Structure 1
Amino acid sequence: MTANSVNANGTPDFDSRSVARVATDKPADYGRRLVSHMSRKIDGEWNGADSTGHLVFNREGTVAGIVDLACEEGALVLTLSASAQELPRLEEVAGRHLARFGYEDGLAVSWKRQDGSDGTTQGPLTKEDLDRLRTEYEDRAAREGASDAAEDFPDLRA
């Protein structure tokens, strides 16, 4: 990741931006859940009073991107700032988690880049998609010796 510069708050100023407006009747619930889940591995914060939050993709120690979350009537808005190189990967990561949490509501996350071009799309997911993703996560966890793969699927407890 290479940011153009660092702003007064000490966070990178990224050269690319992408926005997803995710239609839902429960934007604050999904925003809170996304931040709560992802902040186990990256920095994140949710402000319930004003239904806003952010995620800082800093898992490897360097900030690769930042997602700001805000609620509108009937939508959760995600604004991702990252380098052009990291933008598609981080769209996929944030979008995949949100689509997974909202599979019962058919959530679809479609990103629109600052230049007006389409970004990536995640969801809506089916039960079969979730089963496949769970198997992939469990396989990865077994290879990496991680024990938290099942926690990545809190909606599918047996």
Structure 2
Amino acid sequence: MKSTARLLTARASTYLQQLCKHFGHKVPVEFTAHEGHITLPFGTCALRADEAGLTLINICEPENIEKMEKVIGDHLARFAFREEFSLTWQRDG
């Protein structure tokens, strides 16, 4: 199953790198300033940063989709605490 969310922000690259560095202490990650990939035990998250925002794409088994959305969303909220936002996840599959 796949779920996607987009955060409109000028700090997309910063948040991408913060998320990847944070998770990198515990799980495999790969990232550049504009793309990242986090491999959690229950799914993966692809991240893409551009000038307008940050796109998050979770891929996992259907029974883990809510957990993926919560884990990634909660961690992003910690780093983006200066911004008011809410993520709306769109699910496919």
Q: Using structure 1 for the length normalisation, give the TM-score.
A: 0.56
User: By how many angstroms is 1:36 displaced?
Assistant: 0.5
User: By how many angstroms is 1:91 displaced?
Assistant: 0.7
Return the alpha-carbon distance in structure 1 between the equivalents of residues 26 and 87 of structure 2.
21
What is the identity, as a one-letter code, of the residue corresponding to 1:21?
R
Would the aligned equivalents of 2:13 and 2:50 in 1 still touch at CA under 8 Å?
A: no
Which position in structure 2 is the counterpart of 1:52?
35
User: By how many angstroms is 1:21 displaced?
Assistant: 0.4
RCO (CA 8 Å, sep 6+): is it higher in 1 or 2? Answer: 2
Gaps of 5+ in 2: none
Which position in structure 2 is the counterpart of 1:43?
28
Gaps of 5+ in 1: 1-15, 59-63, 116-158
Which position in structure 2 is the counterpart of 1:150?
none
Would the aligned equivalents of 1:25 and 1:75 in 2 still touch at CA under 8 Å?
A: yes
- Name the structure where strand makes up a greater proportion of residues: 2
Would the aligned equivalents of 1:18 and 1:114 in 2 still touch at CA under 8 Å?
A: yes
Q: Secondary structure in 1 aligned to 2:82?
A: helix
Q: Using structure 2 for the length normalisation, give the TM-score.
A: 0.92
Percent identity over the alignment is 28
Q: Give runs of ≥4 in structure 1 deviating > 6 Å.
A: none
Would the aligned equivalents of 2:43 and 2:64 in 1 still touch at CA under 8 Å?
A: yes
Larger Rg: 1
What is the identity, as a one-letter code, of the residue corresponding to 1:31?
L
Q: How many residues align?
A: 93
Return the alpha-carbon distance in structure 2 between the equivalents of residues 28 and 57 of structure 1.
20
Cα 1:107–1:39 change in 2 (3 A) is farther
Which position in structure 2 is the counterpart of 1:66?
44
